[in-house]
Amino acid sequence: MSSLVLDGVNPRSRTVDPVTSVDAGRDAQLTASQGEVLSMFHARPIDGFADHELVEWGEYSGSRYTPQRIRSARAELAEKGLLEHGEGDYRKTPTGKNARVWTLASKED
């Protein structure tokens, strides 16, 4: 089992990752990819996306980001509190497994 490097810099990396992978991850366009993913959620604010649907939407819309970057950006947005997962809100993946459905976080004023 590998551990994550928790030095306060995102994206995180595993301690076994080569330095080049860590550097590449830190050079990723975090703000731009997160913005693109957030715009996808604004296009479907009620239905939301499971991760596999989000990747499909990105491919359909011509995203310049890899499926891994899209999923990571979704996780980062959830960590920031901008996306949420409703309890019991799942959709089936193409392989029949349950996948969480993420939606824009509700604003509590």
Residue 64's nearest CA partner among 96, 93, 100, 28 is: 28
What would the pLDDT profile of 14-61 be if each residue is shown by its tens digit? 666 676 666 666 655 788 999 999 999 999 888 999 999 999 999 999
What one-character-per-residue DSSP string does 19-64 give? Answer: HHHHHHHHHS-HHHHHHHHHHHHHHSTTT-B-HHHHHHHHHHTT-S
Give the length of the chain.
Answer: 109
Alpha carbon distance 44, 49 (integer Å): 8
**Residue 86 binned pLDDT confidence (cut-offs 50, 70, 90):** confident
Residue 68 has pLDDT above 80, yes or no: yes
pTM summary value: 0.73
Domains of the chain are 31-109 (1.10.10.10)
Residue 7 has pLDDT above 80, yes or no: no
Q: Summarize the chain as % helix, strand, coil (round to 5).
A: 40, 20, 40
